[in-house]
Structure 1
């Protein structure tokens, strides 16, 4: 199996304005050059799990797959943040007080691509916010000069989504290639109400209680063998390992 890191490139170009009720960031992965960078044909990637990651301001993460486009398969990560308790811009970075927008995709069979992440043209974003910037460095500086309010927050979110995206693809042996991309529209899925199973659960529990009273518990040789962990001990063993793992971090 392999792990592919996707989302927004971890860099201060990723920013979240202060005082935002909701602010969305986007990172695109364009797979059209995977085979070229892999050095061999890349078989279909069968995804069987994922891990979504933000820091303290994160409120939601989702991933979207685009298929049969002209550029090949694309994977988009959208992160939603809230910064009502902050008065300064939150930039992307490794610190807990910085932010991330990542989705780690677990798949098989493994190839040589380790990460595929995107970030917006920060100069373009700064210009859309009315700031002068001739390159990325000036763009990052200019973002910090914006007077943030509900209007500029929404304007910044729109600018980040519509700006040209740079896609950074990296292999396990540190080969890096920059590609271009853009953020496509997301079609929201229709949310189906959860089914009320409370009555079914109560009836099932009543049935189990009746069977327990009607039929005495079965005995087995396992109860007579010394050294077998009783049920309460077996339940506490995973908790103990969880405690040790948490304490060691």
Structure 2
């Protein structure tokens, strides 16, 4: 991991690149971590106002997606390389997402009243930079990562990110071949958020979202329910394009109250495939995920679900999940599998960096809106000529029409409380 301070593009706004070292090889086979402890010093208190990807030239088609996580303050760190998603590794404890990017997207700029807090008491000391690759043609090196734009002008609220959807690796996250329109689901009930958070959870003000599937994905919806009735959407793209995965602003900031339910519905097309597509990290495998940017921050990192295993086995007459590969798939068996997944009770896991709590629930019918709008939250910071928050509206994106300003995985650890000396002192980078 390298930490490179760059000249500020705007007055009072600093820039730090958190990227992999070019000496980190990305192998053709297997999944690995390039784990390098950040050596940048602790520089003070600040707020990340925006982020964008930094993709090494020539690797644009190889870098699949990037995630920046916060690690628990008491995590035991090591600089030794290790594999991603290994339960016994220190990196497996780092699940609080700070920023998410995927192919085709740019970045996200936070509203004036919120941002990612770093350096304050209780903030993460280290983060995990995780870069996923689609690399079918051999070993190469990469230095991609995330560029963080920061300021010492503190915000009223700390921002957080909640991941919702289906468990990535689950026996019944699968899609039959030759399916024209097949759905996978994720259910999140907020009733037990307090148990995971360790204290009461304030209403979550959702201001942006990011949707994610792989190549077979055609549509993603995040429906919002209260007291058993749908009250709207927290994200929606009915023409999802794998090569254009962008963060987007909500049309209006939307309140998620404790007791509300969030349901993710992903639609897939596998007419070009002859075998079952399973859930997983690989580009030819699938995911069904949404990331909600909100304030004020809490300790909840993920709220994911999977269909009840016993019910699904019985309904599909399976003795084990691997039997799905022996099913003779036809329209009738595809329809049976879809009804089974739809009717199964959902097993829900709610996570923080420290613990998890289980819940369960059933899926609801989603009511489609009469009309929909598309709000693109991506931006191109290098093209801007003044700092976010200034009156030059042409230089920054609008926020709700009033914004002023075979897959591989490499992971690196970086110091999070490292960004802010020059900005805090009011000097240029």
- TM-score using structure 2 length: 0.42
Match of 1:63 among 204, 219, 222: 222
Q: Which structure has more RCO (C-alpha within 8 Å, separation ≥ 6)?
A: 2
Contact kept? 1:126, 1:143, Cα under 8 Å: no
Question: 2 CA distance for matches of 1:2 and 1:192?
Answer: 26
1:10 is the counterpart of 2:10: no
Match of 1:46 among 205, 217, 226: 205
Q: Report what 1:156 is aligned to.
A: 337
Relative distance call for 1:37 and 1:9 in structure 2 (3 A) is same
Deviation at 1:60, TM superposition (A): 0.5
Contact kept? 2:192, 2:357, Cα under 8 Å: no
TM-align CA RMSD: 2.4
Deviations 1:10-41 (A, max 9, x none): 11321011111110111100110001211111
Deviations 1:200-247 (A, max 9, x none): xxxxxxxxxxxxxxxxxxxxxxxxxxxxxxxxxxx99549xxxxxxxx
Match of 1:105 among 274, 289, 292: 292
1:182 is the counterpart of 2:362: yes
Question: 2 CA distance for matches of 1:111 and 1:237?
Answer: 32
Question: 2 CA distance for matches of 1:12 and 1:76?
Answer: 17
Deviation at 1:146, TM superposition (A): 1.4
4+ residue runs of structure 1 moved beyond 3 angstroms? 235-239
Contact kept? 1:126, 1:142, Cα under 8 Å: no
What secondary structure does 2:326 align onto?
Answer: coil
Deviations 1:104-163 (A, max 9, x none): 00000000000001110233223222x243xxxx1x122222111111112111110110
Contact kept? 2:279, 2:287, Cα under 8 Å: yes
1:96 is the counterpart of 2:277: no
Matches within 5 A, 1:1-249: 1-13=159-171, 14-69=173-228, 72-129=259-316, 131-133=317-319, 138=320, 140-173=321-354, 175-191=355-371, 238=383
- TM-score using structure 1 length: 0.72
Structure 1, gaps ≥5 residues long: 194-234, 240-248
Q: Which has the higher helix share?
A: 1
Relative distance call for 1:114 and 1:237 in structure 2 (3 A) is closer
Structure 2, gaps ≥5 residues long: 1-158, 230-257, 374-379, 385-409, 411-429
What secondary structure does 1:177 align onto?
Answer: strand
Deviation at 1:69, TM superposition (A): 3.9
Relative distance call for 1:181 and 1:188 in structure 2 (3 A) is same
Question: 2 CA distance for matches of 1:108 and 1:77?
Answer: 20
Q: How many residues align?
A: 192
Deviation at 1:4, TM superposition (A): 0.2
What secondary structure does 2:367 align onto?
Answer: coil
Question: Which protein shows a greater Rg?
Answer: 1
Relative distance call for 1:31 and 1:192 in structure 2 (3 A) is closer
Deviation at 1:185, TM superposition (A): 1.2
What secondary structure does 1:185 align onto?
Answer: coil
What secondary structure does 1:7 align onto?
Answer: strand
Question: 2 CA distance for matches of 1:111 and 1:236?
Answer: 28
Contact kept? 2:318, 2:324, Cα under 8 Å: no
Deviation at 1:55, TM superposition (A): 0.2
